[in-house]
Chains A and B, each alone.
Chain A
Amino acid sequence: MNEQTFWNPVLETLSHERLRALQFKKFKRLFRWAYEHSRFHRGLYDQSGMTPEDIRSFEDIQHVPKVEKSMMRDIQRKDPFPYGDALCVPLHEVTEFRQTSGTTGQPVYQPDTWTDWEWWAECWSYILWSQGYRPTDRVFLPFGYNVFVAFWAGHYACEKIGCEVVPGGVLDTQARILKIQELKATAMMATPTYILGMAATAREKMGIDPSELTIDKITCAGEPGAGIPSTKKRMEEAWGAKVYDHAGATEIGAWSYECENQPGGMHVNEALFLVEIEDVATGEIIDEPGKRGKMIITALDRSAQPCIRFDSKDIIEWDRRPCSCGRTFRLIKGGVVGRADDITKVKGVLLAPSAIEEVVRSIEGLGDEYEVVVDKRGDVDRITLKVEIIPGRQDMRSAIEAQLRDQLRLKTNLGYQLEFHEYETLPRYDVKAKRFKDLRNAH
């Protein structure tokens, strides 16, 4: 094993037992910190009768009350403005403001001290190093540097690793492609939607084959696409590059990543985070592989606004297999496979929108864009799937339709009303795409 494989050759190869002991020690430290410095956390824990002295064993962690996103929204209505009473440090120590995208409601504001921001970059350094980023890389960042955390910490981690960073901030897509071409950038980071959109722009509007540019690795975030095999394949073929998934959130941090071996899942950084999987029906913690549940997560070293047993709503499961890369950080199989609030019952069947994406993007001749609309026809649920056939493949339409129907039935157990639209008429997205629309309660 090459010693340069790991950002931290000690923590990333630690035994499960020692990792657990480290997590327990850090959890106790964090719990006490929050109890002593955050009015919100003290109130929450006092209500449940828990004090720092009650955390005596790893199993006691399961009894610590969870924090929901809705609570964070309530917190920030209180003083000090604009963060509220979960803030554990004096306001003048906050150096970073970020906010959530507001996809699921009112945005949550996130304060970080400089030490927290160093920690963010440290989390990302584990990710990028595992994906082969090295000081010889020239990394292009095609995202709007603004209030959303997005790839900000990726930028700082690149600097920490020693990469050369090219900020592609306010450039438009074509200017970004030209800059990648001019500078011979070797890596970039973006959402899967934008990666596919950039490739289409390069090919169709600029006559540039993106696979002939010099990008050899791409790190994705913000959407599940890089964990969906057919979407990953499309991106890798378009750019002639390896595409890696990672998961993170503003309130949590960058907690998991796919390594260079692309094991079909993501490592949880268990030195910096404690991930618990909760059975959605029973509330029990699932330790065994192969059973899905929602993620409850603790960021073990974040201090200004602690993240302790945060109910992320992400649906994950532990993988049985260890990774051939040698990391002992456990894998979650297939990455984040959905969100508890996205997975919905249609015609009595549980439907994860990512399953539809996997089908659409596995079919040759279909464009990258699609839209799913669920509504009611009388009392019966109806799902409409809108797709586009790429130019020059119209003669394949009946074969594509038959394949689409078969695969959708097989992968989702549901029947669909299919609509074929002109190429480039479905909405295009630059950041987080909204391709799933549930209109059943719209009226």
Chain B
Amino acid sequence: MPPEIDMEAMNEKIQAIKKNAAELNRMADHFPAVVRNTARILSSTKMLEINVSDLVNLEVER
């Protein structure tokens, strides 16, 4: 792995995005523009998890 890539730090930021987007999604019950746009953010966040978090979590489990 290239030494300058800090996967754990990136994963922490990804989890923060996920938490914030999920909270925003929940608090906007009657606000479709917020609900649907946060749903898209969560889909993009899943791609970040595929690229980063899944591997970090694998290391933690080992």
Contacts and interface: CB of A to CB of B under 8 A. Distances in A.
A203 interface: no
A95 B37 CA distance: 14
Contacts of A9: 1-2, 5
Given A9-B2, A10-B1, A301 B58 contact: no
Interface string A114-126: 1101110010000
8 contacts: A10-B51, A22-B54, A22-B55, A25-B54, A26-B54, A115-B46, A117-B43, A119-B47
A119 B40 contact: no
A409 B2 CA distance: 51
Interface residues of B, number: 20
B7 A10 contact: yes
A118 B61 contact: no
Contacts of B33: none
Report, as a range, how many residues of chain A touch the other chain: 20 to 34
B39 interface: yes
Contact of A115 (B43, B58, B62): B43
Given A22-B58, A25-B61, A114-B39, A13 B1 contact: yes
Given A9-B2, A114-B39, A21 B47 contact: no
A10 B55 contact: yes
A283 to B, nearest CB: 30
A21 B58 contact: yes
Given A119-B47, A119-B50, A122-B50, 18 more contacts: A8-B51, A9-B2, A9-B5, A10-B1, A10-B2, A10-B51, A10-B55, A11-B51, A22-B55, A25-B57, A25-B58, A26-B54, A114-B39, A114-B43, A115-B46, A117-B43, A118-B44, A122-B51
B45 to A, nearest CB: 9
Interface of B is mostly: helix
Interface in A19-56: 21-22, 25-26
Interface in B25-62: 39-40, 42-44, 46-47, 50-52, 54-55, 57-58, 61-62
A367 to B, nearest CB: 44
A115 B39 CA distance: 9
A114 B1 contact: no
Nearest to B50: A301
Interface string A78-89: 000000000000
B58 A3 contact: no
Nearest to B56: A10
A299 to B, nearest CB: 12
B12 to A, nearest CB: 16
Q: Chain A CB within 10 Å — which of B51, B57, B62 has the most?
A: B51
A22 B50 CA distance: 11
A108 interface: no
A332 interface: no
Contacts of B62: 21
A322 B2 CA distance: 20
A274 interface: no
Given A3-B2, A25-B61, A118 B54 contact: no
